[in-house]
Structure 1
Amino acid sequence: MTAGSDSVLELLPMVFADPGEARARAQGVLDSDPTPWRASVAHQVIGIWQRDWGDMRIALHHLRRARDLAARAQAPDREADILATLGVALVHSGRTRQGLEALERGVAVSTGHTRARVLFRRAYASWVLGRHREALEDVRRAIPVLRQADDVIWTARALTLRATVHLALGAVDRAEADFTAAHAQWDTTGQEHDKADVVESRGLAAFRSGDIPLALRLLDEAEERYAKLGTPSFMLYIRRCEVLMAAGLAPEALAEADTATGALDGIGGQSTRKAELLLVAARAARLAGDPHTAIARAALAVRLFAGQRRSWWEAHARLVLIEARVAAGRRSGRLVADAAAVAERLASFGAPAAPEASLLAGRIALSLGWTADAERHLAVAARSRHSGPPLARMTGWAAQALRARAAGSGRGVLEACRRGLDVLDDHRMTLGASELRARATEQGAELAALAQQAGLDSGSPRRLLTWSERWRATVLSTPPTRPPADPALLGNLTAFREIAARAEEARSDGRPIPTLEREQRRLEREIRSRTLHMRGDAPGDGDRFEPGRLLERLGEVRLVELAVLDGRVQVLLCGQGRVRRFEAGLLADAETEAEHVQAGLRRLAHPGAEARLPVVEAMGRRLEELLLGPAAAQLGCGPVVVVPPGRLHRVPWALLPSLRERVLSVSPSASSWLRAHETEPPPGGRHVLVRGPGLATGGAEVPELADRYGRPTLLEHEEARVPRVLEELDGAALAHIAAHGTFRADSPLFSALRMADGPLIVHDFERLDRSPYRIILSSCDTARLASVGADELLGLVTALLPLGTAGVLASSAPVNDHAVVPLMLALHKGLSAGLSLAEALRDARASLPGDALHQATGWAFTAFGAA
C-alpha cells in the first residue's frame, strides 16, 4: 500500500469526524484521475455520506461502483469492507435479502481485522432488522479482534452497538456498562459524529431507566452536535418521539414524527427509518386520541416492515395497529387472537413490550365477557409489575387491577391501583418541570378510574372521595422544582421578553412580523427545553389525603367535590362531619353548556347585549342541574368550596343560582384547599400594586388602591418591568396586578401578563421563592387553564398555589375593563375590613349596578384557594 493509499484511507474515519470535509475530499480524489483502489475508497466515502444523510439511490450507485473498482484492483479486504458497507445500505433501502447476501459474502472473503469490521456491520444490520440475538453474537466475535488490533474507533462502535442491542432487550444495566466503556474510548478520538451518536444512545438508556429529564437533555445535546456537523439523525427524532410520548407530549411527538418523515422523503433517505417513523407516529396518534390516523400510520408501517423482513418491528407495529383499532371502538374475538399472537411473538423476541400486548388481549377479552381468556392473558401481563422501568410496572399493576375486578374483588382492585399509582408517584417526582409532572399523570388515569369505580361500588362516599383525591391536581401537592440559576435560561427569558415586546409593538402599528415571530418561537423552544431538563428534588408525597381531617377543618364550610365516572358527574358533598354522594348529569352535556356560557359572557362584556342576560342566566340554571343535581338543595347557607374536575375549570360557578349570593371559592382539589387553608400569611404585610401598559382604563383602580393602602409598593410605567415586579412579588402579603392577560392553549406555561418590558410568563412565576399570600389578577382570561394529564391544570393560577399563595382572584372569561374598576374597588374595601377573598368578592358583586355588563363582570371572576 502506497503513501497515497494511506492518505485516501484517512477519509473513511473522517466521514464520522468531519462529514462535509470528508465528502469534499473524496470528490477531489475522483476528480484527479485516481487508481481503481483510490477511487474505490472515494466512492465508498461518498456512498456512506449519502447512505446516512442523503439519497439512498445515490448511495447505492457509489457503493456498487466502489465494489467494482475494488474487485478490479484485486484487493479482497478492500472489496470485503465495501461489501459490508453496501450490505448495510441495501438493508436500509428495504432490500433485506440482497443486503444480507452482500454481508455474508463480505464475511466469507475477509480475514482477521477486516473480518471483525465486517462482522460489526452485519451485527448492525441485524439490529436494524430486529434480530437482536444474531447481532449480539456477531458483535461478541468482533470485539476481541478489534481490541487486539488496538482499533479504538471500531471497538468503541462495537461497544456502542452492543449497548443499543441490550437496550432493545431491556437489559439497561448491561447497556450502561458498554456505553461507559465506549465513552472512554471516544474521548481519545476526534470522531465527532460517533460521539454525538453515543450521546444520543445514552439518552435512550436514560429513558429506558425511567429518567425522562436526563433523556431529554442528552437528546437535545446530541441534536446540537449533529447540527454543527450538518448531519441530520432520523434515529434521534424517533428516540425523542418515544421520550415525548412517555412524558405525555403525544401531540408533539406526532408532529415531530410527521415532520421528520417528510424531511426523509424529501432527500430520498432510508426506508427503514421511514417505517420506524411511521410506527412512532402511529403510537403518538393513538395516545393523542386520534385512532384513525394511528390506524393509517400503523398499517403502512406493518406493510413496510413486512417487505423489509423485519419481524421484530412488524410485531410492534401490529401491536399499535390493534391498540388503535380498539381505541376506534372495535371489539372482536379476532382482535383477541391477534393481540395474543403478537404477545407471543414479542415474548419470543425477548421484547419488553410483550406484557403490553398481553394486557391488550386481556382487556379486549374482558370487554367481550370472556373472563377465562382474559384471566389467562392478564396473568401473563401482571408478571411485569414487580420489575423493570416504571411504565412497565404500571402495565403489570393495571393488569392485576383488571384481574381483581373480573374476580369481583374490590379490595384487590384498590390494592393494585394503590401500588401502581405509588410507582407512578415515585416516577413523577423525578420530573422537575411542572408540565411534565402534570402530563405524566395520564399514565395513571386508568388505575385512578378503576379505583374510583371500586370506591363507588363499595357504597362508601368517603372511599370514593379518597380515591377521587388520589390522582387529582397532584402537581399542586408539592412546590415545583425551582429553575436553576442558569445564565443561558435567564438570557433566553430576557431575550424572549424583548422580542415579544417588539412583536407586540409592530403588531399594533400594523407592521409585518414574521422574523420576530420566528425568533420568538425559537426562544420559546429553548426556554421550554431547558425547563424540561430539570430533575425533581422533592420527596414523594407522604401526606396522604384523609377525609376526617378535611371534615374537621371545614367547620361551617361545605366542600363540593365533583368526580366523573363513566361520563356522569358524581357530587360528593362534604360537611357537618360526613360525606354524602349525589348523582348529577353527564359531563359531556355540562362541557357543552359551559362553552355556551363562555360565549354568552363574551357577548355581555360589550355594551348593548342586555337582551342576552336572561339567556345566560338560564344557562346557569341548566349548568346547576347538570353539575350539582339534587345536591344543590343540600348546601345549607354557609360558604361553599367547589372542587371541579379539570375539564370543567372554565365554569363561572357564581352564575349557578344556588351559589350566586353566597361566599364561594374554587379549588383544584380538596387537598389543595386544605394546604391553602393552613397556609400562614408572611410577616410584614407588604402590599404590591402593579399597573401594566395598554389597558383601556389605564388600570384606573390602582391609584385609588394606592391611597387606600397608605404606602404600598407601586409599580407602574417603566417601573413595571418583569425583574422588578418579581422581586417585589416574592413573599408579599397582597399583590394586585392590573395588566392584560394572555392565555396560551398551545403552551400554557407561556400564558402571560403584559408588563412594560414584555410578558411576565408562568415560567417567571416559578422562579419565586414564595408567591404572594393573596394575589388579585384584574384582567381577562387569567383563570383560564389547560386541562392535561389525568386531572391536572396548567396556567397562571396553578403556578401560584404550590408556591405559598393561599388565595387567587382571577377571571375565566373576557371582561370589560371599565366594569372591572368598581368591582376591584369594592373588593379591596372588603379585604381592608378583614374579609377573605371569597367574602369580599361576594359583597363586591352585590354592590355592582344590576345591568348586564356589570353582572357578567362579577360572574367572570372567581376566588381560588382559601384565603
Structure 2
Amino acid sequence: MVFAAPNQALARAEEVLGSDPSPLHASVAHQVIGIWQRDWGDLRIALDHLRRARDLAARSESADREADVLAALGVALVHAGRTRQGLAALERGVEVAGGHTRARVLFRRAYASWVLGQHKAALEDVRRAIPVLRQAEDVIWTARALTLRATVHLALGAVERADADFTAAEALWDTTGQEHDKADAVESRGLAAYRSGDVPAALRLLDEAQERYAKLGTPTFMLTVRRCEVLMAAGLAREALAEADAAIKVLDGIGGQSTLKAELLLAAARAARVEGDAHTAIARADLAVRLFAGQRRSWWETHARLVLIEARVAAGRGSGRLVADAAAVAERLASFGAPAAPEASLLAGRIALVLGWREDAQRHLEVAARSRHSGPPLARMTGWAARALWARAVGSDRRVLEACRRGLDVLDDHRTTLGASELRARATAQGAELAALAARASLASGGPRRLLVWSERWRATALSAPPTRPPADPGLLSDLTAFREIAARAEAARTEGRPVPALEREQRRLEREIRSRTHHIRGDAPGDGYRFDPAELLERLGDDVRLVELAVLDGRVQVLLCGRGRVRRFEGGLLADAEREAEHVQAGLRRLAHPGAEARLPVVEAAGRRLEELLLGPAAAQLGSGPVVVVPPGRLHRVPWALLPSLRERVFSVSPSASSWLRAHGTAPPDGGRQVLVRGPGLATGGAEVPELAGRHGSATVLEYDEARVPRVLEELDGAALAHIAAHGTFRADSPLFSSLRMADGPLIVHDFERLDRSPYRIILSCCDTARFASVGADELLGLVTALLPLGTAGVVACSAPVNDEAVVPLMLALHKGLGAGASMAEALRDARAALPGDAVHQATGWAFSAFGAA
C-alpha cells in the first residue's frame, strides 16, 4: 500500500502501532513508516524505524519477514551513504530468504546496485528475480523488476531493450492500483523518450508524472534529476539549474537521501556549466564528487569528475594535469559502458590541442570521433566535433567543413522534432562551436561567398519554418484565457495602487503552465532540406539592391556586401564595442523621447557615426544608391539602423537572415486586401492615428474599446493584408514569448500569434519596444516580430526603443500615406521620417522605427 497510497499507508501503520500489535504486525508497521520516511522524508527517522522492524522481525521467528526488512534497511543505508553496511544487510537478506521472498530481496539488491552505478550487478540480480516473480504470479513485483531492468538498460544506452521492458511493465501496471508505482513508470517512460531523442514527449511524460506525484502528496527528487537532464537537452539550462538548486534546498530541509543530494548536485553542476557559470559548476561538481566517493558510487563519481574538469577548463584552467584527468575519466567511463565516454575523450583532446600536444590530441579525438555514426543526436555531434577539431589541427579546411556540415545536419534533425519555437531556437546553442569552426574554415578556403553560406547555415534557423501550430488543446486555451484575465486584474490593481503579490504568483503559475504545454508540442514535419543558395540571393537582389550581412568571427564584425552579382568582404570593428555603443544610443533615444532633451541630439548622432564605423567599416562607402537590406547577428538586434549616416535617408529594411528575406520577398499577398485597425486601451494619445486612418481606409475593420479583445483581434488578423495595431507593448526579456500588446481584455502575447493560420501580410506596430528581441541559442531571436515572419508576414514596421506617443501619430499617418500610394514598407517609412518636423523628439521617434522583411 505504501506505493499505492503512501499517506494512507503511513496513517494505517501508525494506527497498527497504537493497537498493541504482535511482533510480526509491529515489524510490518515500522517497515512501512521506514519506507515512507526513506523515500519521502527524513532518512534518520527511516533508519530508526527500519532497525526496529528488523529487531521485531527476528522476534517473530519468520525468516522471510526478517529478509524483507533487511532488504528495505539495506536500500535505506545505501541512500544514506553507508554503502558497506547497506550491501551487507542486503547480502544477509538474500541468505536468509527463500523462494518468492528471495526474488523480492534480489530486486532490492539490484536497485541498490543501480543506485551505486554497478549496472552489471544490477542486471544479474534482476534477471534472477524476474522468472521467480513471474512464476509466483506476483504482478506488482514483476512490473517493478521490469521497470528497473529497463532503467539500467537506459543507463547503458540500450534504448530498444529498455523500450521492450517498459512496454511489458506498463501492461502489468494497468492491472494494479499501485498509483505511485504507476507514476514512477510514467517518469521512466519520459526518460526513455528523452534517450530516444524525443524531447517533447519526454517533457510531456515527466510533467504527467509530476501531476500524479502531486495528487499522492509525495516529493519528486528523482523526477527533478531527470527533468534537469531533459531541460538541458532542450536548451533550458537556466531552468534546470534553478530546479536542481531548489530541490537540494528542500531535500536538506527534510533530511532526505544523501544519494539523491549528490545526483541533484551533479545535475546542477551540468546545468551551470552549460549556462556558462563555470564557478558555480565547479562548486557543485566538487561537492558531488566528494559525496559520490564517500558513497562508493564510482560510476556516478566519474561522471561528476567529467563535469568538474569541463568546468575548470571553461574557467581557463587548462593544463597537462587536466589532460591526464580527462583521459582517465574517459577510460573509466568506457569501462562502465557509459554513453558519456566520447564526451570525456573529446575534452581530453580539446585540452591537448590547446597545449600543443598533437599526438595526445589525435589519440583522444579519434576515440571521441567513433561516436559520430550511432547513438542519440548529441552523442553523434560530439563525434563530429572531434572530427572537425582534428581536421582543423592538420590544416584540412575541406574536412573541417564536411564534419561541421554532418554535425549540424544531426542537430537539424533533432530540432525538427521540436514544435515550440522557443525550444527550436535554444537548441541551436549546441551547434555554435561547429558553426564557428566552419565559418573560420570557409573564410580561409573559400572567401566571402562561402563565408556567407556558412553564416546563413546557422543564423535565425528557428524562423526557417513556422512553429508547429498548437493543437486545439482545451487546457492550453483555458490557461491563455485565465492568464489574460489575471494579467488584466494585476494591471488594474497596480494602476489603483492596490497590492498584487497574489495575482502575480498566479500569473507566474499560468505562465509556467502555458510554456510547459507548448514545450510538449512535437514538430509535425521533417526539415525540408533547404540550403541557402547565394546565386539565388544575388539574382533576386539584382543590380540596385544591396544586402549587408554581418557575421562575427573571433569577436570581430565581418561585413559581407552582396549585390551586382558578387559577394565582397569588409572588416568592421569589435562586436563588444558595437554592443556598448548600441546601448549608449538606446539610452540617448530614451531621453530624447521626452521634450527638453534636445541637447542630447548631437551626442546621439555622434554615437550613430561611431556605430557605422564599427558595424559597416569601409563597406559604408560601397552601398550604392539603391535600397539596402541589413542582416545583423542576434546580439545587435537593438541597433536603431536609421541612425547610421549611410542609412539615414535611404530605403532600407532589416531581416534576421538572408534566407528569411528571400522567403519574405517571395511571399504573395492574400486575396481581397482586407485591412484591420486595432486600438488598445491606455495610450497617452488614445491611439489618435486610428480614427483618421479609419477615415482613409473606408472598408477597414476597426477594433477599439471593448471590441479590441484578444479572440476577436486574432480572428480579424488571421490572413489580413494589412494590420495596424496601436497598443502598449511590453517586452519580456525573462520570457520573450510572453512579450505582449495590451488589449481590452488583457495582453495579446506571442503564444497567441503562433495560433494564427496566417499572420497579416503587412503589420504595423505603432508602440514602444515591439522590435525588441531576446538573443538565444547560437544566433536566434525571440520576440513579437520574429513570431510573425515565419507565419506569413512579409513586412513589419516596429519600434526598438521607447518613443514619444504624440510624435508617433504623424509618423504613422505619413507611413500609411506612402503605403496607400503603392510604396513598400521600407520606402514608406523612409519618406515618413523625412516628412516629420525637425525637432529632436520627432527625429528620435523616426530613428526608433525600422522596417523588417521585404514587403
Q: Does 1:436 align with 2:423?
A: yes
Moved over 6 A (4+): none
Deviations 1:453-487 (A, max 9, x none): 11111141100000000010011111110000011
Structure 1 match to 2:268: 281
* AA matched with 1:572: L
Normalised to the residue count of structure 1, the TM-score between the two structures is 0.98
Q: Does 1:77 align with 2:58?
A: no
Q: Aligned-pair distance for 1:543? A: 2.1
Structure 2 match to 1:659: 647
Q: Does 1:35 align with 2:22?
A: yes
Deviations 1:685-715 (A, max 9, x none): 0110000000000000000111111220000
Of the three residues 21, 42, 53, the one matched with 1:55 is 42
Q: Is the 8 A contact 1:688 1:728 kept in 2?
A: yes
Counterpart CA distance in 1 for 2:352 and 2:594 is 56
Give SS of 1:205's match. Answer: helix
Of the three residues 127, 141, 144, the one matched with 1:154 is 141
Structure 2 match to 1:494: 481
Counterpart CA distance in 2 for 1:626 and 1:374 is 37
Q: Aligned-pair distance for 1:45? A: 0.2
Counterpart CA distance in 2 for 1:665 and 1:327 is 39
Structure 2, unmatched stretches of 5+, are: none
Q: Does 1:741 align with 2:708?
A: no
* AA matched with 1:63: L
Deviations 1:122-172 (A, max 9, x none): 000000000000000000110011111111000000000000000000000
Aligned runs of 1:385-784 on 2, under 5 Å?
A: 385-555=372-542, 556-784=544-772
Q: Is the 8 A contact 1:667 1:865 kept in 2?
A: yes
Q: Does 1:372 align with 2:359?
A: yes
Structure 1 match to 2:854: 866
Counterpart CA distance in 1 for 2:97 and 2:803 is 78
Counterpart CA distance in 1 for 2:840 and 2:177 is 72
Normalised to the residue count of structure 2, the TM-score between the two structures is 0.99
Give SS of 2:318's match. Answer: coil
Of the three residues 818, 842, 852, the one matched with 2:830 is 842
* AA matched with 2:423: L
Structure 1, unmatched stretches of 5+, are: 1-13
Structure 2 match to 1:139: 126
Aligned runs of 1:306-317 on 2, under 5 Å?
A: 306-317=293-304
Counterpart CA distance in 2 for 1:599 and 1:256 is 35
Structure 2 match to 1:192: 179
Structure 1 match to 2:164: 177
Structure 2 match to 1:793: 781
Q: Aligned-pair distance for 1:518? A: 1.1
Counterpart CA distance in 1 for 2:429 and 2:269 is 18
Give SS of 2:646's match. Answer: helix
Q: Does 1:338 align with 2:315?
A: no
Deviations 1:287-340 (A, max 9, x none): 111000000000000000000000000000000000001111111111111100
Counterpart CA distance in 1 for 2:107 and 2:530 is 53
Counterpart CA distance in 2 for 1:785 and 1:538 is 26
Deviations 1:662-698 (A, max 9, x none): 0010000000000001111000001100000000000
Q: Aligned-pair distance for 1:109? A: 1.0
* AA matched with 1:187: D
Of the three residues 293, 296, 315, the one matched with 2:280 is 293
Counterpart CA distance in 2 for 1:736 and 1:370 is 61
Counterpart CA distance in 2 for 1:137 and 1:118 is 13
Structure 2 match to 1:351: 338
Structure 2 match to 1:98: 85
Structure 2 match to 1:811: 799
Counterpart CA distance in 2 for 1:438 and 1:232 is 32
Counterpart CA distance in 2 for 1:194 and 1:65 is 26
* AA matched with 1:562: L
Counterpart CA distance in 1 for 2:711 and 2:517 is 20
Counterpart CA distance in 2 for 1:760 and 1:383 is 49
Q: Is the 8 A contact 1:808 1:865 kept in 2?
A: yes
Deviations 1:328-371 (A, max 9, x none): 11111111111000000100000000000000011111111111
Counterpart CA distance in 1 for 2:11 and 2:586 is 62
Give SS of 2:590's match. Answer: helix
Structure 2 match to 1:128: 115
Deviations 1:773-794 (A, max 9, x none): 0000000000000101111001
Of all paired residues, the percent bearing the same amino acid is 86
Q: Is the 8 A contact 1:478 1:538 kept in 2?
A: no
* AA matched with 2:195: R
Q: Is the 8 A contact 1:784 1:795 kept in 2?
A: yes
Counterpart CA distance in 2 for 1:175 and 1:543 is 35
Counterpart CA distance in 2 for 1:250 and 1:308 is 27
Structure 1 match to 2:222: 235
Structure 2 match to 1:11: none
Counterpart CA distance in 1 for 2:713 and 2:24 is 70
Q: Aligned-pair distance for 1:539? A: 2.4
Q: Is the 8 A contact 1:477 1:541 kept in 2?
A: no
Give SS of 1:659's match. Answer: coil
